[in-house]
Structure 1
Amino acid sequence: MLLAIDTATRMASLALYDGERICAEETWLSRNQHTVELMPSLARMLERQGIAPQDLRGIAVALGPGSFTGLRVGLSVAKGLALALSIPLVGIPTLDILAYAQPARHSPLCAVARAGRGRVCAALYRRRRGRWRRQGDYRIATIAELCAEVEGRTFFCGEIGAQEAQLLRERLGERAVVASPASSLRRAGYLAELGYERLERGEVDDPATLTPIYLHRPKIPLDSDRAA
């Protein structure tokens, strides 16, 4: 049984996958409560399925980009379980999970996740050899900056609110196709499938060296801010 953990953004998700079916999955709006919500949610899921931690055979974890706190919580739990149970661990980039879940289409796909302060983490994907494959690096940009770079019809998915969707349609018109909220939901079931594929290929990460993908430094208050 493989456990998938995704706490990369305000949305959190857990899943259990046996290689043939998603046995359990939970996705919820955690906001900034990952620290207090993750372990109780995991314990309830294992109990409902009658699974002990010792029954787990691998762990897949979302690596980011995403929030500093969320990524730290998920990765810490995943590493701790992998080391304690002596089971393999694999990390999967957050935006790759989003892209993997989208249906095939001829136009390019832009996957986004909120980065705060009016910006998003984004990556562009194109359909190659039966699946979405990333073109270029992950980056931080505003929606307006992404619009300025779009040349043709593009499919947008991920954490896109009503305001961002409206801006995309105003700037790009028919060139912007925006996924529905349900299609944009980042689910741990997809993370589990990607992680299982890597485990089957023998591509295992080292818990001691696996690090999250940060596109900017965490916002840490200065001493003068604390004094204030």
Structure 2
Amino acid sequence: MLLLAMDTATPAVTVALHDGTAAVAASGQVDARRHGELLLPAVDRVLAEAGAGLDAVTGIVVGVGPGPYTGLRVGLMTADTFGLALGVPVHGVCTLDALAYAAEDVEGPFVVATDARRKEVYWARYADRRTRLTEPAVDRPADLAGDVTELPAVGAGALLYPGTFTDPRGPQHVAAAALAALAAERLAAGEELLEPRPLYLRRPDAQVPKNYKVVTPQ
């Protein structure tokens, strides 16, 4: 097994190569505006560091979000393209699940929260690193229940709103190494992973104006 993992659902552009036991190479850079520019060079760096060719990859793992429309689709389109070109399966993993999985220092119930912009967070509640209790959602932090915001909270969303999340923790951003490790663990257990389809939770920022006038030729 050699999994090429990537995630662009958060400001982090992150890539890793995983052999089914451990990550053999990884790259990560935080830049919310350059997902498309940074992703493919990161793939090249990871393959070079591992001394592996792209043809050695047996599967693709991609974070499906939730995340902002523009960044998220970069990773998903790239993953689909690699899968088609190589003839290998493409597996989806919830980005919040990968963040939870990487929270090795957090014990007991906790929350994962990432920045959704518009003064909102993407979030979900977890019983432990591997067990999500709620479906991913997007909300204003002030609208979340007290029994949620009082829990330890992992992710950049919690750090952005310290007045709401009373116990923010790391990591801030998802890492492809954790994404790949979680996928490898689930595959080894015979679990079915997600389809590589985007989990947007809301409409994109760019929309047709409400009073848009259509002009047709006479």
Using the size of structure 2 for normalisation, the TM-score is 0.86
Stretch deviating more after TM superposition (194-203 or 24-33): 194-203
Q: How does 1:102-113 map onto structure 2 within 5 Å? A: 102-103=103-104, 104-106=106-108, 108-113=109-114
Contact 1:88–1:204 (8 Å) recurs in 2: no
> Deviations for 1:146-172, whole angstroms, at most 9, x for unmatched residues?
2x432785110111365512x136xxx
**AA aligned opposite 1:178:** P
Contact 1:90–1:198 (8 Å) recurs in 2: no
SS state at 1:74 partner? helix
Give the drift of 1:211: 1.4
1:154 maps to which residue?
Answer: 151
- Work out whether 1:144 is the aligned partner of 2:142: yes
1:187 maps to which residue?
Answer: 175
**Alpha-carbon distance in structure 2 between the residues aligned to 1:70 and 1:152:** 27
**AA aligned opposite 2:141:** I
2:198 maps to which residue?
Answer: 212
- Work out whether 1:203 is the aligned partner of 2:162: no
Give the drift of 1:114: 0.9
Contact 1:61–1:74 (8 Å) recurs in 2: yes
Given the superposition, is the C-alpha separation of residues 162 and 98 from structure 1 closer, same or farther in structure 2, using an over 3 Å criterion?
Answer: closer
Q: How does 1:20-35 map onto structure 2 within 5 Å? A: 20-35=21-36
2:216 maps to which residue?
Answer: none
Q: Percent identity?
A: 33
Given the superposition, is the C-alpha separation of residues 113 and 161 from structure 1 closer, same or farther in structure 2, using an over 3 Å criterion?
Answer: closer
SS state at 2:202 partner? coil
Unaligned runs of 5+ in 1: 170-175
**Alpha-carbon distance in structure 2 between the residues aligned to 1:75 and 1:203:** 18
Aligned residues: 210
Given the superposition, is the C-alpha separation of residues 219 and 43 from structure 1 closer, same or farther in structure 2, using an over 3 Å criterion?
Answer: same
2:164 maps to which residue?
Answer: 168
**AA aligned opposite 1:139:** A
> Deviations for 1:124-149, whole angstroms, at most 9, x for unmatched residues?
1113xxx4311122111122122x43
Equivalent of 1:132 in 130, 133, 138: 130
Unaligned runs of 5+ in 2: 214-218
**AA aligned opposite 1:126:** A
Contact 1:5–1:74 (8 Å) recurs in 2: yes
Give the drift of 1:223: 4.9
> Deviations for 1:59-106, whole angstroms, at most 9, x for unmatched residues?
110001001111111011111111111112110001111111123523
Given the superposition, is the C-alpha separation of residues 110 and 49 from structure 1 closer, same or farther in structure 2, using an over 3 Å criterion?
Answer: same
**AA aligned opposite 1:168:** T
**Alpha-carbon distance in structure 1 between the residues aligned to 2:94 and 2:212:** 34
**Alpha-carbon distance in structure 2 between the residues aligned to 1:152 and 1:71:** 26
SS state at 1:150 partner? helix
**Alpha-carbon distance in structure 1 between the residues aligned to 2:154 and 2:191:** 30
Using the size of structure 1 for normalisation, the TM-score is 0.83
Q: CA RMSD in A?
A: 2.4
**AA aligned opposite 2:151:** T
1:172 maps to which residue?
Answer: none
